[in-house]
Structure 1
Amino acid sequence: MKKFIGLLFVSILGGFITLGIYRAFFEKEQVVVEQRTTTPNFVTASYDASPLAAAETTDFTGAAEKTIHAVVHVTNRMTSKAPTSFQDLFFGGGRERTQVGTGSGVIISPDGYIVTNNHVIDGATELSVTLNNNKTYDAELIGSDPSTDIALIKVDTDEDLPYLAFGDSDNARVGEWVLAVGNPFNLTSTVTAGIISAKSRDLSGSNSQSFIQTDAAVNPGNSGGALVNSRGDLIGINTAITSRTGTYIGYAFAVPSNIAKKVVEDLLEYGNVQKGLLGVSIIQKNSPYAVENGINEIEGLYVGGVEEDSGAEKAGIGEGDIIKSVDEIKINKFADLTGYLNSKRPGNTVQLTIERDGKTKTVPVTLSKINSYTLNELGIQVKNISDKDRKQYRTDHGVKITRTAPYLNNANLEGRILVEINGKKIRNGEDAEKIVSEINPNERNVIVILNEKGEAERYLF
């Protein structure tokens, strides 16, 4: 047995020695090559520190110093009588009650004109303004525009005040650094920083608004304050926040300076806001019609109709045209268009770039005056009649009914001419508004309407 184990060990050892001699002297070495592509299938992030360094070294001190002295604290006092007894409810009287609201404002001229929000001064019986140097002045309301939430007030002083000039909000860019300056929670001269998060934001759902969105901290009391860029240019008036708590959570909105400037100029020159009308109706994206007809895929705004006698009709704009830009400002959504047009007035000419049958062209369009009037008491919307209407209906006065409330749909009033209310002749939209404001809804009211044949029909309301 021992002899067998010895022979087995010798045999195994001999095998290893033979294999080693063969591999060392006779077997050729094989080189294994690993194939690798020289082009990676991903992009490596750049770790260049220059952009970060640029952000860290951005100096806001100059813009802040320029702005804080031009931003004021606005106090709104509303005095009303609170009933103290059952008799007071019917015969008046009671103790006077004063409510105090606060906000911010921006001085825009050395002689004391201040722009703020309409909701800051709404309902005020007394207005006062406190400057950054703690001096307080009584303020006078010059005018306001609820639709843009802009108001203009004025203080009288014996010395020139620090002020900010309006910048060009059309040149503001998404991602640009901005400062919000105001008086949140009654804390004066508060400066917060952020970036422009978006432009042409509409919070109403009706495409009537065009806010600058920012993530600079804005809280109650900031309303009416300044939104400035890193150079200290006034590019917006802080107006609103969206929040579940009522305080800042990252979304703040400002009226663009171009719109605020135009409103202020209109209030000073005309006493009210002059709005320019392009005269087109737009097919909204994501609507059933837009989805069925491929309108969602287009870049720009699809014209669904053109108003009669409008600047768009006179310029040759037609249904099916696609609005690409206005005055070289690219148009992606309706708020882009309305936001720009809100900075214009009737008589201004804009260069409208449209696409038609695959070809692009630019046409000048003169904006006309908005002539639509809503008569809520009658449940209708009207506009001034055109020369064509005068000939068709054989009348020299009246207003055309363009829309009715749902409960009047069966009356088929749209397209007809309203010529008289309670025996009073209607010459234009202003007449209609004035007459309707005087009617008593609890009494019988008679209106006269011309049908398609020019025949007078009487309706009781």
Structure 2
Amino acid sequence: MNGIQRMLVPRRTLALWALAATLLALPALGHDGKLTFAPVLRDVAPAVVNISVESSREVRNPWFNDPRFRRFFGIPEDAPQQMTRRAQNVGSGVIIDADEGLVVTNQHLVRNSDRIRVSLKDGRSFDAELVGSDPGTDVALLSIEAEELTQLPLAEAESLEVGDFVIAIGNPFRLEHTVTAGIVSALGRTGLIRQGYEDFIQTDASINPGNSGGALVDLDGRLVGINTAIFAPSGGGAGDGFNVGIGFAVPVHIVRGVVDQLIEFGEVRRGLLGVLIEDVTPELREALDLADDVTGAWVARVVERSAAQEAGVQEGDIITSLDGDDLATSAELRNRVGLMRAGDNVTLGVLRDGEERIRIKATIGEPERQTIAGASSSSKLEGVELRNLTDDHERFGAISGVEIASIERSSLAWRSGLRQGDVVLSVNRQVVGSVEEFDAVTAEQGGLLALRVQRGESRLFITIR
């Protein structure tokens, strides 16, 4: 055997090994020798349910937002400005605990629900109770009283890789138990839920309206994610629009953490680090004379009496890692901290003054203030009380801001056009997602306040001089 032949033998062996590994990763062989997902689906399908939701919500009459309209028709300021809108919606869910009758679905599907009905593959239907929901991750937990249920086992987070085969099961367009297949296109996708906590699985398995809340499973029949959104030409998400081959699912490790808190508290009690952060952009690297490989979250402000301040985090610090894991963007830090509980201990990797690398240990704190009086942050807001958006707000999870809880009619803010129920999205072009951030931003504004406000279905600018 010459040298060339000796080199070909191990290459052929490697090729056989690669072929064997590929065949093991593919769907099972049927009785006729064809590849099929049928063995997996026989076990999985009974755990995927159809969910129908009847809901109603109070909405503002848009005409009442126009003061000229109100004056023309003589409508007093304290007249009712809302009307009831009723709707029906359908989606999917996954049974994760057969003994307790626990079903996971999407929060946006059951938001403002008056009645929730769960239908099983065997034809049985049950009224469901909402155990709790979390708009930040778009996860909700339902409970039904039923016997002989089938549940899906949960996969381990680290078991999923880009390129793995996955199966999506749901009820798109009211077509019950529709099955599509594809691969994992990417992991850790963000930017789909504004101000949400994201770590999405991206897949090319077809996910359409009605798939929301359905199962994304691996070839072992384990739940790897809850289908939640598609990327559509219309710009839709969370089941809007139509599929173009890009779908997203909430990964099982987020689902598991949220469900544990919903069972224990009926809500997700998130911790708070207490920093206003921005991405480390090329412009910021140039301005601070940083190396090109520096990434993470630049600390624009440290909230007073926060966990970050107590731990020693300073304005201008760059948080480069969390518990040893490097951070590429500020969103990664926000997502990671947002999924932690108050009292959790973390280690922050910090770059200070562009040179000194230090480690800071911090204990995640609790959001202390739910409301603030305007006078505590700016004299221009005297007579105004603000509060964080709560999960019963119709736009909670869809927008980020602070709500005007009350406002005195004699105040400067009222005369400038601000009204109770308005949601302030930004102040002088700085986004405010909580009363803490609002307080921090307005405290340093000595002149004009330019507020971007959500009022009903419209957005407007209000200036307070």
Q: Above 0.5 in TM-score?
A: yes
Contact 2:50-2:90 within 8 A present in 1 as well: yes
Task: Quickly say closer, same or farther: Cα 1:265–1:57, change in 2 above 3 A.
Answer: closer
Per mean C-alpha deviation after superposition, the further-off stretch among 133-142 and 305-314 is: 305-314
2:47 is the counterpart of 1:58: no
CA 1:259–1:126 in 2, change beyond 3 Å: closer, same or farther?
same
Could you tell me which of 316, 341, 344 is aligned with 1:345? 341
Matches within 5 A, 1:120-269: 120-157=109-146, 159-169=147-157, 172-191=160-179, 192-204=181-193, 206=195, 208-244=197-233, 246-269=241-264
Consecutive aligned runs of 4 or more in structure 1 exceeding 6 Å deviation: none
Give the alignment partner of residue 52 of structure 2, picking from 75, 93, 107.
Answer: 75
**Structure 2 unaligned regions, length at least 5:** 1-13, 28-36, 59-74, 235-240, 390-402, 414-438, 444-463
Cα distance in structure 2, aligned partners of 1:302 and 1:248: 34
Amino acid at match of 1:303: W
**Structure 2 vs 1, CA of residues 162 and 399 (structure 1 numbering), >3 Å: closer, same or farther?**
farther
Deviation at 1:171, TM superposition (A): 5.7
Is the 1:170–1:258 Cα contact (8 Å) retained in structure 2?
no
Distance (Å, rounded) in 1 between the aligned partners of 2:335 and 2:57: 37
CA distance in 2, matches of 1:169, 1:230: 15
- Give the superposition deviation at 1:123: 3.2
Cα separation, 2, equivalents of 1:293 and 1:123:
47
- TM (normalized to structure 1)? 0.64
Instruction: State the number of aligned residues.
Output: 352
Distance (Å, rounded) in 2 between the aligned partners of 1:51 and 1:330: 33
1:21 paired residue number: none
CA gap 1:199/1:77 in 2 versus in 1, 3 angstroms: same
Aligned ranges 1:27-38 → 2 under 5 Å: none
Identify if the C-alpha distance between structure 1 residues 205 and 291 changes in structure 2 by more than 3 Å, giving closer, same or farther.
farther
Structure index of larger Rg: 1
Structure 1 gap segments, 5+ residues each = 1-46, 82-89, 376-381, 384-397, 405-410, 431-435, 453-459
Q: What percentage of residue pairs aligned between the two structures are identical?
A: 32
With over 3 angstroms needed to count, the CA separation of the structure-2 counterparts of 1:327 and 1:288, relative to structure 1, is closer
Secondary structure in 1 matching 2:308: helix
The answer to whether the 8 A contact 1:302-1:323 is kept is yes
**In 1: Cα distance, 2:286 partner to 2:229 partner:** 33
Given the alignment of the two structures, is residue 109 of structure 1 paired with residue 97 of structure 2, yes or no?
yes
Residue 277 of structure 1: aligned partner:
272
Q: Equivalent residue of 1:232, what SS?
A: coil
Aligned in 2, Cα 1:291/1:50: closer, same or farther, shift over 3 Å? farther
- Rounded Cα–Cα distance in structure 2 between residues aligned with 1:98 and 1:179: 34
Contact 1:277 1:368 in 2 (8 A): yes
2:300 pairs with 1:323: no
Identify which range, 332-341 or 102-111, moves more after superposition.
332-341
Counterpart-to-counterpart distance in 1, 2:325 and 2:160:
12
CA 372–296 in structure 1, closer or farther in 2 if over 3 Å, else same? farther
TM-score (norm 2): 0.63
SS of 2:183's partner is strand
What amino acid is the match of 1:184? P
State the 1:204 CA deviation: 4.4
